[in-house]
Amino acid sequence: MKKNIDILCVGEILIDFIGHQNDVLINETRDYHRYLGGSPANVAMNCKRLGLTSLLISTLGIDGFGEYAINRLNEIGINTNYTKRTSKDSTSVIFVSRSNGTPDFIPYRSADYKITEDQIPKDILLKTKIFHTTCFALSKKPAQTTILKKAKEAFNLDCILSIDINYAKELWESKEEALSVIKEYCIYNPLIKISEDDMLRLFEKELPHQEIFDYFHNLGVDIVCLTLGSKGVKLSQKGKELIQLPAIKIDNVMDTTGAGDAFWSGFLFAYIQNKPIKECLNIALNLAALKLQNVGRLPDNIDILSKLL
């Protein structure tokens, strides 16, 4: 069967309320602006706007926020046939500080993790090139069980797997559970995107970058991409020389929320076209830089980045 779905994103659709006041924590934020968010949703939308065929699988409430999300996704041309609506749970909401660094957040979760196996039929996996998810999506059942089972099925059907290990302890029962689930997903050799902040939260101490890379390589992962904020990015391929690139200088950072998703969207966009790893990273850094200069979604002209390939 022809693989005509470039990227299948499985996980959370969220309504992000991003603080209007810049560079303050939530306890000092007076008001918020509403945006469509959730890392898998962001990646699916970004990739679609870059010209890829993306499919998003998630769960929303039958409520005003769910209607808002569906309308926004349909405007971009995202197929929402496999995004379930439920009257039993409300659409998940997250409040996020507007920050020049790592923002703090408070999640109010209900529908986002109610992802079930029937939403990801085999015929979809047969058509998929990249199966992408997040640590956020894996943090609660039934989504956790569903994603792990379907990741194994996707791997056996020759999909490339991908994960953003955006670990936050607030979302998990325990760190031990998170590490166990991450290890199980890593069996399928996913492309891994991590950040320094993610790793500090996960391991609860600063580790040398090579130790982080070795940890994931020892789990069976070939490619590990570590984002370093304003210091750029490092990428380790098992058995190959480490690649390090600087970040693109931004004079006026407007908002960091979604920058990691923009980065990974750019990386996957180039990777799926079999570009060399350094080109994948350059596209990723350009898209992240564009996001840092905008609050909420990326601007409409992100397809110009395809000309960089």
pLDDT digits (tens, 9 = 90+) for 75-91: 999 999 999 999 999 99
Instruction: Provide the residue count of the chain.
Output: 309
Reported as a single tens digit per residue, the pLDDT across 284-293 is 998 888 766 6
Task: List helix spans (H) across the chain.
Answer: 39-49, 64-76, 122-126, 143-156, 175-186, 196-203, 209-218, 259-271, 277-292
User: Which range among 16-20, 203-207, 235-239, 279-283 shows the weakest confidence by mean pLDDT?
Assistant: 16-20
Q: What is the pLDDT of residue 299?
A: 59
Its pTM stands at: 0.91
Q: How far apart (Å, rounded) are the C-alpha atoms in residues 161 and 169? A: 24
- 8 A C-beta contact, residue 247 and residue 285: yes
Q: What is the pLDDT of residue 219?
A: 97
Average pLDDT over residues 248-263: 74
Q: How far apart (Å, rounded) are the C-alpha atoms in residues 127 and 267? A: 21
Q: What is the pLDDT of residue 27?
A: 82
DSSP 8-state secondary structure symbol assigned to residue 274: T
Average pLDDT over residues 268-297: 85
